[in-house]
Amino acid sequence: MGRALKVIQWATGNIGTRSLRAVIEHPGLELVGLWVSNPEKAGRDAGALCGLPDTGVRATTSVDEACAIEADCVLYMRQGTDGDELCRLLASGKNVVTTRGDFHHPASMDPALRQRIEAACTEGGASLYSTGSSPGFVTEALAIPLVSLSRRLDCLTIDEFADLSSRNSPDLLFNVMGFGQAIGEFQQARADHVKADFSASLAQLADGLGIAIDRWQAFGEYAAARIDQTIAAGTIRAGTMAAQRITIEGLTGETPRFHFRANWYAARDVVANGWDLRESGWRIRVESDTPLDVGITFPVAPENYAAFTPGLTAHRAVNAVAAVCAAAPGIRTTVDLPQVLARFTA
């Protein structure tokens, strides 16, 4: 690996804070800067913001100050993508790894933004890479080796399961996501929002496999609770919404070739036909000349779940820093990057 790679952590939300901790503890990385959006965090030591001893690196809210720091890579994890900010970082010669889902499939991007990003990458000799657990790991990094056992792929189906019953976030679950509310028509805008990131990620895979997808579509479904159920955030009454499923499909003609289904539920005892609400995790099915059915679950106690989940997204991004720093300039994807390896020892 040679010298430690110098890293700036950009934002310290739920994922960014876990990323910050991982950078500080990583044997091959050196934290040299920290940008935060919250003025109350400005001036505080990076270690204090993630539960570690002081590092000597102080948080700043100044983009100018952060951009002036010499670094090999920026871990960009702010809420919302700022194109001007990204272009400035890339043009200054800093590679960027982001958990924002805007860059999984360059061909699907807004052409004007893609042109600006590519120009900034060329100017700075830098690379930009989007990754995370989902989309990212399960839709690309894991799917690629599973499909590599096949010489014919009929359909790839990825089911994601998220049990929200232990999440004590009443506003998110009841007001934003609609759990515990009367069941009406699924809001297409929600399905389209999920589709944007996941269809781009799967389109990257389809291109790499040489499968032509004519269109991507998304739709959502609700399922009602059979009985009153108490969860960490409150009570879900019988007959109200207890589970929702958003499906993204990639079709060739009228034939589905890729499926991603987000199964999010606050109760598993629901009225639904054909829903297999497993414990939190993923199920990946490869329908091909070498069919596979792979299940992944998380053996974590409910009381530790909130502390565990940020690492699923943050750690892959941190582990990708070395590969992205070594890559050719431009918007990079999992298909064209080398394998992302975790490094555990100095």
Q: How do residues 136-187 score in pLDDT, each as one tens digit?
A: 999 999 999 999 999 999 999 999 999 999 888 899 999 989 999 999 889 8
Asked if 66 contacts 60 with a C-beta cutoff of 8 angstroms, the reply is yes
Pick the range with the lowest mean pLDDT from 52-56, 85-89, 240-244, 299-303.
299-303
pLDDT at 274: 84
Query: 182-186, 238-242, 272-276 — which is least confidently predicted?
Result: 272-276
Beta carbons of 267 and 229 less than 8 angstroms apart: yes
pLDDT score, position 306: 84
In 131-240 the beta strands, taken as DSSP E runs, fall at: 153-163, 215-225, 229-231, 234-236
Q: Domain 5-131+320-332, what fold?
A: Rossmann fold (3.40.50)
Q: Is 136 left (phi over 0), alpha (psi -120 to 50) or beta?
A: left
Residues paired with 244 in a beta bridge: 222, 264
What length is written for the chain? 346
CA-closest candidate to residue 10, choices 28, 30, 43, 37: 37
Residue 179 is predicted with a pLDDT of 94
What average pLDDT is seen over the chain? 95
- Flag whether pLDDT at 346 surpasses 80: no
* Residues 137-304, CATH architecture: 2-Layer Sandwich (3.30)
Average pLDDT of the segment spanning 70-91? 96
Count CB neighbours of 5 within 10 A: 21
Cβ-Cβ contacts under 8 Å for 293 (sequence gap 6 or more) = 283, 284, 285, 286
User: What are the start-end ranges of the E strands in the chain?
Assistant: 5-10, 29-35, 59-60, 73-76, 95-98, 127-130, 153-163, 215-225, 229-231, 234-236, 241-252, 255-265, 270-271, 281-288, 292-297, 330-332
- Delimit the domains of the chain by residue range: 5-131+320-332, 137-304
**Tell me, what's the pLDDT at 272?**
86
- pLDDT tens figures, 178-221: 999 999 889 899 899 999 999 999 999 999 999 999 999 999 99
Residues 6+ apart with CB under 8 A from 53: 47
Tens of pLDDT, residues 106-126:
999 999 999 999 999 999 999
Contact 130, 104 (CB under 8 A): yes
Topology alike, domains 5-131+320-332 and 137-304? no
Query: What is d(CA 202, CA 195) in angstroms, rounded to the nearest whole number?
Result: 10
Question: How far, in Å, CA of 282 to CA of 292, rounded?
Answer: 13
Residue range 17-56, pLDDT digits in tens: 999 999 999 999 999 999 999 999 999 999 999 999 999 9
pLDDT at 187: 87
pLDDT of 91: 97
26 neighbors 73 (Cβ within 8 angstroms) = no
Q: What digits encode the pLDDT tens for the residues 299-332?
A: 998 888 888 999 999 999 999 999 999 999 999 9
